[in-house]
Amino acid sequence: MRFLTGDLGARLGVGATALTLALPAHADVTPAEVWDDLSELLEGVGYEVSVTESESGGNLMLGDLTLRMAIPESEGQAAGDVTLGLADLTLEDLGDGTVGLRFPSPMPIELRVSEEGTEPVEMTLELAQQALSLVASGDPDALNYTYSAEATKLELVRLLAEGKELSRDIFSASLATGPLSGSSQVATADGKRRYSHSYQADELRYDLSGSDPEQPGSTGQVSGRVTGLTSRGESVIPEAAPGSDAAAIMGAGFEGSGTITFDSGQTTFALTDGGETMTGSSSSQGGSLKGAIDGTRMSYDFGLKALSYEAEGGDLPFPISAAIDQLGLNLSMPLAKSDTPQDMALGVTLGGLTLSDAIWGIFDPGATLPRDPATLAFDLTGKVTPLVSLFDPAGLTKLEEEETPPAELNALTLNSLTVSAAGAEITGQGDFAFNQEDTQSFGGMPAPEGEVTFNISGANGLIDKLIAMGLLSQQDAMGARMMLGMFTVPGSEPDTQTSTIEVNEQGQILANGQRIK
């Protein structure tokens, strides 16, 4: 059974947002106008909406609300559909030009995912709320939803898979929030809907547990907590024909960006197998996730602070623990076909990694090596020319059949490189341009031209310590020192070296001015 990813996942997300958030403004709005806007949004992203409408005292009751989205056949997978059934909703005229959205508590949510040739997966969820307020205001072309709740809890109460109903002993899941508040705005103009939202929750808690019915005694449990959660975002959704694929939606002007942050997070787990139980936990002191996408490019930036991990039991011979001061990843890349070079970037940071003495003791029981925090970090930027849109499956398939890469690499800059561990460190920076006309000099890849410089410290000291530990023989050490001598020159400080590797326009490779190819 496929899960909800890509184009389908995005549409489901928009549908869920439309049904669980609310909208603001300055003029009056009626229940019917609010529902018209929401239903148009749902249908616009591919849902078939089925509902029974009735009016009473100026209020609009929505009964038997069902949303269905078809899953087209793709990549050899059969077609299917996703059906979402919601409990009765009421859009209440509050008498001041605003509309309140009223949900029962707990509110049952029925989810059914089917695929041709397989048994459907069915879920029943219950959403409970305390002191929920959800109010729409404004006018049909500029709506604002404001919402707040003292607490919410979403819980899985029924799961049917492969024709069998799984008890809560086999699998259970729940997600709860503490006090929360937020707002979202939607405006319609020029055939496009523009959305923005802001959300805050003091606390989010999750709990998952399960067991393998085919292996008695095999169980797992994961629970966690996130504090100070915030989310902000904006998007533009263009009008598109029903069933439009991602390429059509992106080409019509889709845009989206958002930021999620949190103050702290903790997770605990317990896994039992064969009578052995492994327990552990992880924590962090905050983090963030930023992203943006449109028809031409995407960017992504993820970071965690002060991440720690520990575990014991199970197959582990002893308790282990590790911590890292900073964990980060950033990526920026073009998505659309282009005749000119486009910007790209990639960065990774694993900063300040420390391991417990028990882990160090495996390979360094005598504490010969310095146990300073280790770091691996690099920052790359460059230029690439995309030969095909990433939203063009036919074009990608053709390039794959022709064994042609999807993009040309035009230039690459190493803005920074840091590798440090066990008392040694390497830093570097440099840049290269690539000649697309010359694919012979370097075995089929475009010929590079440029240079990169490395600074090395502590290498000989590390070699000496590895010899003392018996991890490196004298003969191997001699070979390593000879390599250092061939590719580096001494630095200004003891046990330091520098190395400049250059590739010139003739295809020659030089190390510190000496030709090596």
Quick one: 138 and 213 in the same domain?
no
DSSP tally for the chain: helices H, then strands E: 7, 30
Length of the chain counted residue by residue:
517
Mean pLDDT check: name the lowest of 53-57, 183-187, 395-399, 411-415: 395-399
Quick one: 146 and 253 in the same domain?
no
Q: How far apart are CA 265 and CA 263, in angstroms?
A: 7
Number of structural domains the chain divides into: 2
User: Which one of 422, 454, 478 terminates a domain?
Assistant: 422
Q: Is the pLDDT of residue 12 over 50?
A: no
Quick one: 209 and 303 in the same domain?
yes
Give residue 120's pLDDT band: very low, low, confident or very high (50, 70, 90): confident
Q: Which residues of 359-494 form beta strands (DSSP E)?
A: 374-386, 407-421, 424-435, 447-457, 489-490
Instruction: Please report whether residue 136 resides in a domain.
Output: yes
Quick one: 155 and 209 in the same domain?
no
DSSP 442: B
The pLDDT score that the predictor gives to residue 278 is 95
Q: Is the pLDDT of residue 20 over 60?
A: no
The angle at the Cα of 106, spanning 150 to 185, to the nearest 5 degrees, equals 55
Quick one: 241 and 315 in the same domain?
yes
CB 175 within 8 A of CB 206: yes
Give residue 6's pLDDT band: very low, low, confident or very high (50, 70, 90): very low
Q: What is the pLDDT of residues 159-200, one digit of tens each?
A: 998 888 888 888 999 999 989 999 999 888 887 889 999 999
Quick one: 334 and 418 in the same domain?
yes
Name the β-bridge partners of 91.
Answer: 60, 101
Q: Is the pLDDT of residue 21 over 70?
A: no
Q: How far apart are CA 109 and CA 85, in angstroms?
A: 6
Q: Is the pLDDT of residue 23 over 80?
A: no
Quick one: 253 and 172 in the same domain?
no
Mean pLDDT of all residues in 464-473 = 92
DSSP3 helix / strand / coil % (the chain, rounded to 5): 15, 55, 30
Instruction: Please report whether residue 21 resides in a domain.
Output: no
- CA-based R_g, the chain, Å: 29
Give residue 79's pLDDT band: very low, low, confident or very high (50, 70, 90): low
Q: Which residue has the higher pLDDT, 26 or 494?
A: 494
Q: How far apart are CA 151 and CA 361, in angstroms?
A: 47
> Containing domain of residue 261, as a range?
190-422
Quick one: 397 and 277 in the same domain?
yes
Record the tokens describing residue 438, joined without a space. Answer: 């010359």
DSSP 41: H
Instruction: Please report whether residue 378 resides in a domain.
Output: yes
Quick one: 136 and 219 in the same domain?
no
Half-sphere exposure at residue 402, Cβ-oriented, CA atoms within 13 angstroms: 10
- Residue 146 phi, psi (nearest 5): -120, 145
Q: How far apart are CA 247 and CA 120, in angstroms?
A: 29
CB 147 within 8 A of CB 181: yes
Q: Which residue has the higher pLDDT, 8 or 81?
A: 81
Mean pLDDT of all residues in 317-336 = 95
Cβ contacts of 191 within 8 Å, gap of 6 or more: 238, 239
Quick one: 174 and 33 in the same domain?
yes
Quick one: 127 and 32 in the same domain?
yes
Quick one: 176 and 256 in the same domain?
no
Instruction: Please report whether residue 514 resides in a domain.
Output: no
Instruction: Please report whether residue 392 resides in a domain.
Output: yes
Mean pLDDT check: name the lowest of 12-26, 109-123, 231-245, 406-420: 12-26
Q: Which contiguous run of DSSP H or E holds residue 248?
A: helix 246-251
Instruction: Please report whether residue 471 resides in a domain.
Output: no
Q: How far apart are CA 497 and CA 198, in angstroms?
A: 52
Q: What is the pLDDT of residues 356-380, one digit of tens each?
A: 999 999 889 999 999 999 999 999 9
Q: Residue 489, class by beta-carbon neighbours within 10 Å (0-12 exposed, 13-18 middle, 19+ buried)?
A: middle
Give residue 241's pLDDT band: very low, low, confident or very high (50, 70, 90): low
User: Which CA distances in Å does 367 have to 50, 359, 371?
Assistant: 69, 11, 8
The pLDDT score that the predictor gives to residue 507 is 87
Cβ contacts of 195 within 8 Å, gap of 6 or more: 184, 185, 186, 233, 234, 235, 236, 237
pTM: predicted TM-score of the whole model, two decimal places: 0.85
User: Which one of 156, 172, 188 terminates a domain?
Assistant: 188
Q: Is the pLDDT of residue 453 over 60?
A: yes
User: Which one of 356, 388, 422 terminates a domain?
Assistant: 422
Hey, is 39 helix, strand or coil?
helix
Instruction: Please report whether residue 220 resides in a domain.
Output: yes
The angle at the Cα of 129, spanning 199 to 26, to the nearest 5 degrees, equals 50
Q: Residue 38, class by beta-carbon neighbours within 10 Å (0-12 exposed, 13-18 middle, 19+ buried)?
A: buried
Record the tokens describing residue 61, joined without a space. Answer: 């009751």
Instruction: Please report whether residue 353 resides in a domain.
Output: yes
DSSP structure string for 259-302: EEEESEEEEEEEEEETTEEEEEEEEES-EEEEEEEESSEEEEEE
